[in-house]
Structure 1
């Protein structure tokens, strides 16, 4: 006959979980009154102790209840056992049926101040899925500081990790790690006796089904004698005959708890769910298919094929929709709110009034919604946007928010979008960039095509300013059957007309196609790059050939730099290897004969390397970058190349600049430059070489992003006649770990300036810009350039959260213009503690006449004006930053975008924003930590080199 083994399924038990706290054994070596063996204050003796035990249940690493259950009564102390006895049951607000397979009981021991003294965890189910009942003993981990930090992190982030995760791992399942209680269990004779005694108590859970009184009395007497002999833990664990593993128990604290026992074992089992109900129309279709199959005599395979054609898969898998994991759904509200919204729209769908206009209160609400930063909208706001969708077609700023109000799962609502977009007024470039982002509401092809149409109004020079983000937006595009998208086609079209656009798109696509950190995006960019090259070769073969020759030249320089960097020896040996490699480099014939645009500045035509065997140098730094020069060509006044379109008619001119591509970008704020005479192929010139810093082994994509924002912010400031004298040099990543940076001539680090000029920046400006008649003997334009550029970079580095600002990466040009280099830490990240909002030293302030000089007042004024100006352009800057969150750049993420938005303080008025920034100036100027850390940095540099 088969023997039955009755058991309970965990999902069938509705009883609440209860845990009994029996006693807490203290480590003998930590309660030594003399404090010889350890920290006696952590585990205190007798009446001085005030220790409580808390318990919390975790499912899948997340707590099931916010507040842990904790012992409330005073514990009694047993000097022989060196233990606190509680005898208290903790009721937990969790039912057995709600426990997951990996449920954990997390126990914490706290002192009277609430600080965690020790922690341990116990899986509710063992490795076989059986509920642990009865007495359980845990080895406590008394790393108080780690336990405190990890438990707080577990409750804050709903996950258990770090050292506390290791605690859980020690006690997970039957195969416990050696650091848990398992190693002590065979030698813990006292606890084994207690477990044996527990087996004789109560009607259920007994060891024997039929009792023998005489045998029970004999066994209980023997167990009692054994317990009495072992009750004095000091004598037991310090006896000469004691085993080494027993002695090890003297160093650990142990917690004994009791879990409920049931009449039968409890096995973990999840309630099975049946297949989802089938809609009536599906039932009807299924009935017709079965009837047709029966009439025609079709077999089961044909019936299955017919079901697939009808969209009815014969699949028994259960799909459960989790609204909590859907971010878009969470933003729209609960399922009940979503259903109400759908029913309300259905009720009014036939009553559409295209002339409906909001009243005064509704108009204010709409204006608030349209001006609010971010995309988190309440359900009432979504309803308001949908209700007045026809009235909003004349509002540029309303389109992104309206698209968020569309239920893209409702075919009826989606069908209205194309017609509304045809009526919508043309949006600005900033909003067009937002519509190319990753939000699900902007993923539809009709929306992205509308955004691309808005981009067509941008000039080539303005387009180049946003190209980095536009290329990043390609990863979110939906390709057609030919592997094309509206944005990709637009970029190919403009690249065929402009060598500047083609230059940057070429390199941005190259970097994306070679970035192996994201295989999916890498494959996408490989497709786009192939299509882009095909289009360029077909529509503008001269441009295509030029870019191929340019890439061959730059890649050759990068490979030479890599070989020199890997050369063994010090900097002179590496420099010699670099010059040899560059001297042997073959320059493409097209580069020599016609010249190619410089990748950093397409306005500059280069025709090869400048003195490759004598001019290049290598810097003394960890990555050993090199300084390489290119020969520059100048144009002659003859016929123009056919691929360059004529410039648009001149408009209002900007203030005079030094010329070049980046100055042309600044001129975009006021209009393009007047048409130049037609040009012919360039000829060599005797002007200075165009020098760049070549880096290999360094990811320049972050520097590239920062310098792009510096350039764009300079353009935005110049639109309101705020010329902050910024030095907008270029950086271009040529790969995930290589790139080139424009070398700014006639500049020096502030650290060197202070070392060479008696700790005075003013002395440096005086030596390069003397004027005996001017205040302090310095030309007014040099002091003005220093003041304005310092103000501009203070604002920009604050907004971008640029960190690691020591005086080696803040430079000053001879004409007084200050600028920053090396942007390895941005958006609030900094390797040093207590960083100031931005770097403003006392020496920099004194050069501007601090505290009462006119230039110091001008500095404060320019800072406030620039900050308020850039706050007005926050939507554009935030949209550009959001497109970079998936670019694989280390410090650019969703969280970083929020930090960027917070720095604009869009909750403040302009007046309050000015006061806020003046406080930042005061805080940065008087910060002590940067001064101290700068001295340590100087010492570290001196020891290193």
Structure 2
């Protein structure tokens, strides 16, 4: 038992954890009118004539305690009452089978009034409600309460209840005295204090709430009393309350919770938490009156006069002391003292820990302060900059300028870390995004292609200025019968422009002169100058790849670092490299199709409003001295993304068509690819509509391919300069119709074999692809991109795991190409041979090597098995069975069909790693004849651990790439976009060191080897496959 004295009052309180008394509640009276059933309801159910709506009620009340959406005790009910007139009074105490000490902080009391309707239908709810047993300050409720009861509903015990019942917390007074004596609980032993945690009440914003709160303030002494006026006011409140209740659709119940007293002194019951006595609230709850302070940009509140007028600061994240301390820390005067500040050993270790936090983890105030104090020391650590950005409020002018000064002094970020700055988190800060682009300029075109899919997604968050040049912007819309491209152009007029979709958008300025961009004659170089694009200070298009020269990044004016933009950068690289341009074209085109489909139901009026918002946001000039570090809010929904992608595509095609000879050659390649795809798509669709057996359809397909030689676009004899869509580095000369195949499937995918033009990129004479219509390949495209990236990262560490990341390109939301790999499903191998080793022995025999198999083939099998196990584990690839695990004749394992990722699986309780006895036997099993671990299995585990540790060191790159895909319409990510990165962090085990992470991986592998569910699932899948 504890007492706290303040100058205004004395508070007596005890701990809930020491109160062994059971919860007691008195059911008082119920007010309200039950509506009679409609005549239609009576006709459908005649027994309603004898229900409580027409006859006298036979009702009872049940009470029960819930927490975390679960029942904590059995319901306790009152006796049955035969009620003849209103109000309906019980005046009955109920004791619930739960001690106050056992109540959790979020305990809910659920009350339901039941009516006896008929023996057949059972009892029906008359009304119900839910209240919290502890208020938002952690104080246990005592005394009388008036509750709002929801008609025809059972009290809802869920945390987000649908039947909130609390009207007001009447602690010291009763609206109407309940019959009988107040129940008291005696205390014999002293108790200690408590720390409280806030719990929000349900807001009841109607007239009854207002009247109840006014009465509460009066009886608690928070209002100045005037006897003559108080009598009139209280009578008016009583009349108004009665009138509101009569007009309300709700029932109203009075209850009383037992009061806690010792020696006739009332005690508050506070929920126990450690060290609660320091912050326990001793003041009653009250309304807060908002006062705005423009200087501090804070909100202050004034409490009622009884306690004296004082101000309580309500800041979004920080209190006023922390804010003032932050301003002092970030002042220029303190900066002079911090320049030579060096951390001690403990702070060094803490800084290292903070810098290595995953990207999704926010920094605490103490961690931000530590980074700020040692900012000059950290400028030599390139990994620290992304965390250091969290120390700033980028909307404050002084902090924005300070940040730009420090970023110029900072050791430049790695490219993989700079990708984080292109995400939605910094969509309103173009200066930070510009810094990221300055780092991407160091990437080679080969590396850029590995990130290109994500960079296209980053265009969603760019603040595009609408094109204001006098040129017409073309868009490829369709292909005519003669094989030529139909291009729509956007005409520009003074004060407005029209996009390719026909939507007019106001512009800030436009040239009065006009010129035609429809002809390739009299071309002029298309430079990224201020007359064509948003950022006038963007560097001109380079004709050679950018070399990692710091002078290029920081010319005479270092501020140019913050004047780059993603659109101009991608244009620059597209003109340099045809492969970049073609990949970029198809990535953007698919996004335009996808966003167009998602916004097809939107009205054109909404589209105009959205695009007008974009135009206004981009056209307005900024007067802030932050130099554009923080811009106006920019819409990043699907409609805005569609506009961004369309503008980008229009300007890309215009840039290529009106560029130099190399750019025009790229434009011609795009034209050829479009015509090729349109012709091929029409042929495949015509074949699929053909009735008959598969061999008849195949014959029709070959016939149509050969007949294209009579049209203006011959698929059999293509222009030798046509790049292959799936791999633009390869030039194709035509399709070999005789080698075309169709697979027996619902979608009937087709295999096409191309004649290729030999080059240093590809020396074979043929290239096989699978073309699918009706399947979304974007998820497979993403996973194969990640496998190719991880393969490259491992090879950079001299670890070649013989992976086979075949190529996939989606050309639409329901069509695309896959590279054909000559491999056999493991299920076929296990069905035709005694095991994987027999298959390897047949195609790779050796009289000298172990198991009679060439050592190279066995090495391929061990390494590729390890590589794919680690990669599929990290990416959470599901639905792994022997039909989508393939093997080549040289022993390389590869996985296909990535329909389930990030831990998803169509079957429950599946292992996280596909590692079975059949796969282990392929390398000789786990143990040799002598009982020792097999050498091949030891090598397998070593490769797994080395690959996992190497990829963990590049985890930030993979996390950044996936974070840029969260708004893409990819099924495996769109299901839970906010958890995408978190799932990858969990698989990388970033919260532990390398040694422990390695041990956890081995435990996963060994545990899944003995997975009973996985083995049963394989047998069921094999049985179903054979039956089909």
Q: Report the TM range for the smaller structure's normalisation.
A: 0.5 to 0.7
Deviation for aligned residue 1:519: 2.9
The verdict on how the C-alpha distance between 1:874 and 1:280 changes in structure 2, with shifts beyond 3 A counting, is closer
Residue of structure 2 aligned with 1:512, choices 577, 591, 596: 591
How do 1:478-627 residues align onto structure 2 when only pairs under 5 Å count?
Answer: 478-480=463-465, 482=467, 484=534, 486-515=565-594, 516-517=597-598, 518-539=638-659, 540-568=663-691, 570-585=693-708, 588=713, 592-611=718-737, 614-627=738-751
Deviation for aligned residue 1:135: 8.7
- Tell me which residue corresponds to 2:905: 830
Deviation for aligned residue 1:388: 3.0
- Tell me the secondary structure at the aligned position of residue 824 of structure 1: coil
The verdict on how the C-alpha distance between 1:533 and 1:108 changes in structure 2, with shifts beyond 3 A counting, is farther
- Per the normalisation by structure 2, the TM-score is 0.58
Deviation for aligned residue 1:575: 3.4
- Tell me which residue corresponds to 1:412: 398
The verdict on how the C-alpha distance between 1:451 and 1:395 changes in structure 2, with shifts beyond 3 A counting, is same
Contact kept, 8 Å, 1:691 with 1:743, in 2: the verdict is yes
- Tell me the secondary structure at the aligned position of residue 359 of structure 1: coil
The verdict on how the C-alpha distance between 1:620 and 1:919 changes in structure 2, with shifts beyond 3 A counting, is same
Residue of structure 2 aligned with 1:809, choices 868, 874, 884: 884
The verdict on how the C-alpha distance between 1:422 and 1:927 changes in structure 2, with shifts beyond 3 A counting, is same
- Tell me which residue corresponds to 1:754: 830
For structure 2, the 5+ residue unaligned runs are 1-23, 31-60, 83-89, 97-107, 115-121, 131-144, 166-177, 180-239, 251-285, 298-312, 468-532, 536-564, 599-637, 928-933
Which deviations, in whole Å up to 9, do the C-alpha atoms of 1:672-713 show, x marking residues without a partner?
A: xxxxxxxxxxxxx9x543111111121111111111111111
Contact kept, 8 Å, 1:827 with 1:900, in 2: the verdict is yes
The verdict on how the C-alpha distance between 1:108 and 1:933 changes in structure 2, with shifts beyond 3 A counting, is farther
- Tell me the secondary structure at the aligned position of residue 897 of structure 1: helix
- Tell me the secondary structure at the aligned position of residue 746 of structure 2: coil
Which deviations, in whole Å up to 9, do the C-alpha atoms of 1:8-44 show, x marking residues without a partner?
A: xxxxxxxxx9994999xxxxxxxxxxxxxxxxxxxxx
- Cα separation, 2, equivalents of 1:363 and 1:119: 67
Residue of structure 1 aligned with 2:462, choices 458, 473, 477: 477
- Tell me the secondary structure at the aligned position of residue 903 of structure 1: helix
- Cα separation, 1, equivalents of 2:113 and 2:905: 34
- Cα separation, 1, equivalents of 2:643 and 2:855: 55
- Tell me the secondary structure at the aligned position of residue 819 of structure 1: strand
- Tell me which residue corresponds to 1:790: 865
Contact kept, 8 Å, 2:128 with 2:154, in 1: the verdict is no
Deviation for aligned residue 1:522: 1.8
- Cα separation, 2, equivalents of 1:513 and 1:68: 51
Deviation for aligned residue 1:362: 3.0
The verdict on how the C-alpha distance between 1:123 and 1:702 changes in structure 2, with shifts beyond 3 A counting, is farther
The verdict on how the C-alpha distance between 1:137 and 1:505 changes in structure 2, with shifts beyond 3 A counting, is closer
* 1:384 correspondence with 2:370: yes
Which deviations, in whole Å up to 9, do the C-alpha atoms of 1:409-458 show, x marking residues without a partner?
A: 21111122222222222221111111111213x64222111111111111
Deviation for aligned residue 1:379: 0.9
- Tell me which residue corresponds to 1:54: 64
Deviation for aligned residue 1:622: 3.2
The verdict on how the C-alpha distance between 1:367 and 1:140 changes in structure 2, with shifts beyond 3 A counting, is closer
- Cα separation, 2, equivalents of 1:864 and 1:903: 14
- Cα separation, 2, equivalents of 1:119 and 1:711: 63
Q: Which has the higher strand share?
A: 2
- Cα separation, 1, equivalents of 2:789 and 2:153: 60
- Tell me which residue corresponds to 2:978: 894
Which deviations, in whole Å up to 9, do the C-alpha atoms of 1:853-907 show, x marking residues without a partner?
A: 2111111111111111111111111111111111111112221221011101012
Deviation for aligned residue 1:104: 13
- Tell me which residue corresponds to 2:937: 856
The verdict on how the C-alpha distance between 1:363 and 1:579 changes in structure 2, with shifts beyond 3 A counting, is same
Contact kept, 8 Å, 1:616 with 1:627, in 2: the verdict is yes
Residue of structure 2 aligned with 1:903, choices 978, 984, 987: 987
Deviation for aligned residue 1:920: 1.1
Contact kept, 8 Å, 1:803 with 1:830, in 2: the verdict is yes
- Tell me which residue corresponds to 1:869: 950
- Tell me which residue corresponds to 2:453: 468
How do 1:605-754 residues align onto structure 2 when only pairs under 5 Å count?
Answer: 605-611=731-737, 614-635=738-759, 660=761, 688-745=765-822, 747-754=823-830
Contact kept, 8 Å, 1:549 with 1:588, in 2: the verdict is no
The verdict on how the C-alpha distance between 1:912 and 1:592 changes in structure 2, with shifts beyond 3 A counting, is same
The verdict on how the C-alpha distance between 1:274 and 1:728 changes in structure 2, with shifts beyond 3 A counting, is same
- Tell me which residue corresponds to 1:365: 350
For structure 1, the 5+ residue unaligned runs are 1-16, 24-50, 57-62, 80-84, 92-102, 110-116, 126-130, 142-146, 161-167, 172-200, 203-260, 283-321, 636-658, 662-684
How do 1:181-260 residues align onto structure 2 when only pairs under 5 Å count?
Answer: none
Contact kept, 8 Å, 2:128 with 2:152, in 1: the verdict is no
Contact kept, 8 Å, 1:108 with 1:118, in 2: the verdict is no
Paired residue total: 663
- Cα separation, 1, equivalents of 2:95 and 2:965: 50
The verdict on how the C-alpha distance between 1:548 and 1:339 changes in structure 2, with shifts beyond 3 A counting, is same
Deviation for aligned residue 1:940: 2.8
- Cα separation, 1, equivalents of 2:947 and 2:125: 55
Higher mean displacement: 795-804 or 500-509: 500-509
- Cα separation, 2, equivalents of 1:583 and 1:104: 78
Which deviations, in whole Å up to 9, do the C-alpha atoms of 1:804-823 show, x marking residues without a partner?
A: 01110000000000000000
- Tell me the secondary structure at the aligned position of residue 495 of structure 1: helix
- Cα separation, 2, equivalents of 1:494 and 1:628: 31
How do 1:303-314 residues align onto structure 2 when only pairs under 5 Å count?
Answer: none
The verdict on how the C-alpha distance between 1:137 and 1:394 changes in structure 2, with shifts beyond 3 A counting, is closer
Contact kept, 8 Å, 1:356 with 1:390, in 2: the verdict is yes
- Tell me the secondary structure at the aligned position of residue 439 of structure 1: helix
- Tell me which residue corresponds to 1:763: 838
Deviation for aligned residue 1:334: 4.0
Contact kept, 8 Å, 2:457 with 2:965, in 1: the verdict is yes
- Cα separation, 2, equivalents of 1:692 and 1:122: 66
- Cα separation, 1, equivalents of 2:593 and 2:1001: 42
- Tell me the secondary structure at the aligned position of residue 427 of structure 1: coil
- Cα separation, 2, equivalents of 1:351 and 1:797: 48
- Cα separation, 2, equivalents of 1:340 and 1:748: 68
Contact kept, 8 Å, 2:368 with 2:391, in 1: the verdict is yes
Which deviations, in whole Å up to 9, do the C-alpha atoms of 1:100-145 show, x marking residues without a partner?
A: xxx9978699xxxxxxx999795779xxxxx99899874769xxxx
Contact kept, 8 Å, 1:106 with 1:121, in 2: the verdict is no
- Tell me which residue corresponds to 1:435: 421
- Cα separation, 1, equivalents of 2:898 and 2:961: 18
Contact kept, 8 Å, 2:65 with 2:72, in 1: the verdict is yes
Which deviations, in whole Å up to 9, do the C-alpha atoms of 1:226-260 show, x marking residues without a partner?
A: xxxxxxxxxxxxxxxxxxxxxxxxxxxxxxxxxxx
Which deviations, in whole Å up to 9, do the C-alpha atoms of 1:188-218 show, x marking residues without a partner?
A: xxxxxxxxxxxxx99xxxxxxxxxxxxxxxx
Deviation for aligned residue 1:584: 4.4
- Tell me which residue corresponds to 2:103: none
The verdict on how the C-alpha distance between 1:337 and 1:920 changes in structure 2, with shifts beyond 3 A counting, is farther
The verdict on how the C-alpha distance between 1:134 and 1:502 changes in structure 2, with shifts beyond 3 A counting, is closer
Contact kept, 8 Å, 1:761 with 1:844, in 2: the verdict is yes
- Cα separation, 1, equivalents of 2:296 and 2:727: 64
- Tell me which residue corresponds to 1:355: 339
- Tell me which residue corresponds to 1:653: none
Deviation for aligned residue 1:768: 0.7
- Tell me which residue corresponds to 2:230: none
Deviation for aligned residue 1:66: 8.6
- Tell me the secondary structure at the aligned position of residue 593 of structure 1: coil
Residue of structure 1 aligned with 2:849, choices 774, 785, 810: 774
